[in-house]
């Protein structure tokens, strides 16, 4: 537990000593700000976070590969991984430490978007319940994306390859929802499956303020499976 | 302190090391000597728990490195071959990070940090960002991170590789100063390094241990003849033939340097016929320029062992 904290802390500090963290933060905040501004100046705009949260989940999907690509791939490429893995630290602690470091960075970025709902609630009648559910959904989606990113980063020593794998997986779980429209909408089993594993569809519920345990389970299991696989990849070198 | 028995590691069908066994006692400094690709790094990676062996066991301070890997690692300070560090961290930050991962508590860590930085000559670079340090200083940081938790065993993989001659001397001196406090095992393919820093040498080649002894014993064991260099001023071509006629001389070879009339004269082990040769050369009026015994270096031993695969252990 202490090791996870030590590693996470180092990762978080290292984000802010590299330009990547600032590029990602600026990118994220610039576009959320832009979308927020456009949306409130629309005639008849409602005081709600729905549209913005939807855009934020998409922006998260765009930045997560870049936020996670260096975590393990860089250590593997430069050789620092050998030093880390010969300390009295378990592989799972290394993976979780890296993961929580990335998550802490994301949360610090997300906190900077809180002025948007605050502005909305000052000048309008914002449904805070729905907003918090939306944020929870965003956080869960980000947690899943970052976990997938950690897994992608464990696979290769090339950061670009890691980001590439990551984006591929994200687009797949984002767009899989379209399958449900292709195969005839409601009713067919295939359409149901596609809908239930599409981030776009699952997040849609959170965005509307609906807290459904099946959606929470979806994101949490994505996290667990990805992190488990990342640990397995690290352990592969220990094969006899 | 280090006990290795029958260690074998295959990478796919290729054996990297075969049936490697050795012991290192507490407080010893031992060199693991071998050409590149002999299996030094593989052995060290197994000892440090980075990867398992296919067969055999290794114990550090009595703890099996595979069965109880985490516990064994607490007793080891490891410096890998390429000392790669987090280049974005400051020296003291990085060392503190390593100390924490070794399970050290704050007050203990603070004391140890000052001591280790002092020991490795890093006190003035405490706040430097590792990425801005020269290779020599990075190597010291690498050594400092291995020392931070005051481990029983230090495993240093090629600690001087890539350094300039001055830095090499500094790092060697540092390692020598650690003798007694820690058990040190260092790998190298540079012979003088092994000779200068270590009490005992284990020579490994093609994944097998070919010799193990003190540097002095190794050179003594391998030597079969005494060799003397004789250089004369004038040579009418009869010098090698007449030298050969001295009863104790077993062979005479000309040194490759054409500009000199220098010969290598081999005699039976344990004989010293220098005065006899001197008299002989002076008597012939050839003009004696040089006469000295040739010491066999560890380098010759090494070459002989690793090229002819001749076991002496």
Q: Taking 90 as the threshold, does the pLDDT of residue B70 lie above it?
A: yes
Closest-approach residue (CA) in chain A for B142: A83
Nearest to A146 by CA among A84, A234, A67, A53: A67
Q: Residue for token digits 């006190």?
A: B123
pLDDT 10s digits, B172-185: 888 888 877 899 99
**Contacts A70 to B, Cβ<8 Å:** none
Name which of A1, A15, A83, A93 to mutate to probe chain B: the one with the most chain B Cβ atoms within 10 A of its Cβ.
A83
pLDDT 10s digits, B77-100: 999 887 789 999 999 999 999 999
The pLDDT of residue A158: 93
pLDDT band of B45, cuts 50, 70, 90: very high
Does this complex have an ipTM over 0.90?
no
Rounded to a whole number of angstroms, the distance between the first and last alpha carbons of chain A is 28
- Is the pLDDT higher at B226 or at B61? B61
Q: Taking 70 as the threshold, does the pLDDT of residue B308 lie above it?
A: no
Q: What is the CA radius of gyration of chain B?
A: 25
Q: What is the mean pLDDT of residues B134-145?
A: 89
Q: Is B148 helix (H, G, I), strand (E, B) or coil?
A: coil
- Which residues of chain A fall short of a pLDDT of 70? 184-187, 238-240
Residues 6+ apart with CB under 8 A from B292: B228, B229
Task: Give the C-alpha separation, B139 to B125, whole Å.
Answer: 13
- Which class for B15: exposed (0-12), middle (13-18), buried (19 or more C-beta within 10 A)? middle
Whether residues A82 and B50 touch (CB distance < 8 A) is answered with yes
A235 touches chain B (CB under 8 A): no
**Contacts A80 to B, Cβ<8 Å:** 84-86
The pLDDT of residue A184: 64
- Is the pLDDT higher at B6 or at B312? B6
Q: Residue for token digits 């095992």?
A: B185
Judge whether A66 and A152 are in contact, CB under 8 Å: no
The pLDDT of residue A185: 60
Q: What string of H, E and C letters represents the secondary structure of B258-281?
A: CCCEEEEEEEECCCCCHHHHHHHH
Quote the minimal CA–CA distance from B122 to chain A in Å.
Answer: 20
The pLDDT of residue A165: 95
A78 touches chain B (CB under 8 A): yes
Residues 6+ apart with CB under 8 A from A152: A65, A68, A69, A162, A163, A165, A166, A169
Task: Give the C-alpha separation, A25 to A109, whole Å.
Answer: 6
**Contacts A10 to B, Cβ<8 Å:** 86, 89, 97
B65 CB neighbour count, 10 Å cutoff: 24
The pLDDT of residue B144: 93
Q: Taking 70 as the threshold, does the pLDDT of residue B50 lie above it?
A: yes
Judge whether A207 and A50 are in contact, CB under 8 Å: yes
Please give the sequence-ordered ranges of beta strands (E in DSSP) within B189-287, or none if there are none.
200-205, 208-213, 225-232, 249-254, 261-268
Question: What mean pLDDT, rounded, does chain A reach?
Answer: 90
The pLDDT of residue B48: 93
Judge whether A155 and A236 are in contact, CB under 8 Å: no
The pLDDT of residue B297: 63
Rounded to a whole number of angstroms, the distance between the first and last alpha carbons of chain B is 21
Task: Give the C-alpha separation, B297 to B313, whole Å.
Answer: 18
Task: Give the C-alpha separation, B40 to B17, whole Å.
Answer: 9
Please, which residues 84-113 of chain B have a Cβ atom closer than 8 Å to chain A? 84-86, 88-89, 97-98, 100-103
The pLDDT of residue B312: 39
Q: Residue for token digits 């790092």?
A: B171
Q: What is the CA radius of gyration of chain A?
A: 19
- Is the pLDDT higher at B299 or at A227? A227
Work out the angle between the directed axes of helices A91-111 and A19-40 (0-180°, nearest 10): 40
The two tokens of residue B224 are 């079969």
Torsion B127-B131-B136-B138 (CA) sign:
positive
Q: What string of H, E and C letters represents the secondary structure of chain A?
A: CHHHHHHHHHHHHHHHHCHHHHHHHHHHHHHHHHHHHHHHCCCCCCCCCHHHHHHHHHHHHHHHHHHHCHHHHHHHHHCHHHHHHCCCCCHHHHHHHHHHHHHHHHHHHHHCCCHHHHHHHHHCCCCHHHHHHHHHHHHHHHHHHHHHHHHHHHHCCCHHHHHHHHHHHHHHHHHCHHHHHHCCCCCCHHHHHHHHCCHHHHHHHHHCCCCCHHHHHHHHHHHHHHHHHHHHHHHHHHCC
pLDDT 10s digits, B103-120: 999 899 999 999 999 988
Output the CA angle B55-B77-B22, nearest 5 degrees: 40
Residues 6+ apart with CB under 8 A from B275: none
Whether residues A80 and B53 touch (CB distance < 8 A) is answered with no
Question: What mean pLDDT, rounded, does chain B reach?
Answer: 85
Pairing of strands B2-11, B288-294: unpaired
Q: What is the percent of chain B where pLDDT is above 70?
A: 92
Query: How far is C-alpha B5 from the chain's CA centre?
Result: 21
């Amino acid at each position: 537990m202490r090791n996870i904290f030590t590693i996470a802390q180092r990762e978080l500090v290292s984000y802010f000593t590299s330009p990547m963290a600032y590029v990602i933060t600026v990118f994220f905040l610039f576009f959320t700000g832009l979308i927020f501004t456009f949306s409130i100046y629309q005639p008849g705009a409602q005081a709600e976070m729905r549209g913005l949260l939807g855009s934020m989940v998409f922006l998260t999907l765009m930045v997560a590969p870049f936020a996670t690509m260096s975590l393990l791939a860089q250590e593997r490429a430069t050789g620092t991984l050998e030093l880390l893995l010969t300390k009295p630290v378990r592989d799972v602690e290394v993976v979780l430490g890296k993961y929580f470091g990335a998550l802490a960075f994301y949360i610090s970025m997300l906190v900077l978007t809180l002025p948007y709902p605050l502005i909305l609630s000052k000048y309008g009648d914002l449904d805070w319940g729905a907003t918090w559910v939306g944020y929870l959904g965003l956080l869960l989606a980000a947690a899943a994306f970052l976990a997938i990113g950690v897994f992608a980063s464990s696979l290769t020593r090339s950061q670009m390859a890691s980001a590439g794998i990551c984006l591929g997986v994200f687009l797949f779980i984002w767009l899989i929802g379209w399958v449900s429209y292709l195969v005839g909408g409601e009713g067919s089993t295939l359409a149901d499956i596609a809908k239930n594993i599409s981030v776009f569809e699952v997040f849609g519920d959170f965005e509307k303020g609906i807290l459904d345990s099946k959606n929470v389970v979806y994101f949490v299991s994505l996290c667990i499976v990805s992190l488990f696989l990342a640990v397995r990849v690290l352990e592969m070198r220990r094969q006899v | 302190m280090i006990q290795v028995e029958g260690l074998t590691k295959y990478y796919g069908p290729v054996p990297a090391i075969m049936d490697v066994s050795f012991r290192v006692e507490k407080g010893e400094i031992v060199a693991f000597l071998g050409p590149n690709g002999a299996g030094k790094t593989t052995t060290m990676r197994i000892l440090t728990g980075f990867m398992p062996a296919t067969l055999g066991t290794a114990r550090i301070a009595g703890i099996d490195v595979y069965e109880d890997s985490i516990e064994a690692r607490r007793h080891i300070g490891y410096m890998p071959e390429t000392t790669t560090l987090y280049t974005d961290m400051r020296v003291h930050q990085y060392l503190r990070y390593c100390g924490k991962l070794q399970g050290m508590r704050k007050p203990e860590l603070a004391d140890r940090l000052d001591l280790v930085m002092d020991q490795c000559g890093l006190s003035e670079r405490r706040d430097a960002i590792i990425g801005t340090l020269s290779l020599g200083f990075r190597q010291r940081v690498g050594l400092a991170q291995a020392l931070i938790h005051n481990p029983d065993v230090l495993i240093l993989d090629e600690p001087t590789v890539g350094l300039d001659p001055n830095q090499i001397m500094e790092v060697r001196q540092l390692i020598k100063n650690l003798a007694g406090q820690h058990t040190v095992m260092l790998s190298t393919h540079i012979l003088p390094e092994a000779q200068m820093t270590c009490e005992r040498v284990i020579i490994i080649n093609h994944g097998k241990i070919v010799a193990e002894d003190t540097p002095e014993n190794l050179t003594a064991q391998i030597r079969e003849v005494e060799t003397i260099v004789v250089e004369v001023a004038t040579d009418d071509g009869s010098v090698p033939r007449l030298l050969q006629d001295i009863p104790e001389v077993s062979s005479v070879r000309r040194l490759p340097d054409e500009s000199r009339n220098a010969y290598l004269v081999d005699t039976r082990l344990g004989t010293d016929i220098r005065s006899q040769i001197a008299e002989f050369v002076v008597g012939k009026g050839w003009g004696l320029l040089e006469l000295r015994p040739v010491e066999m270096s560890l380098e010759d031993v090494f070459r002989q062992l690793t090229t002819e695969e001749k076991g002496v252990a």
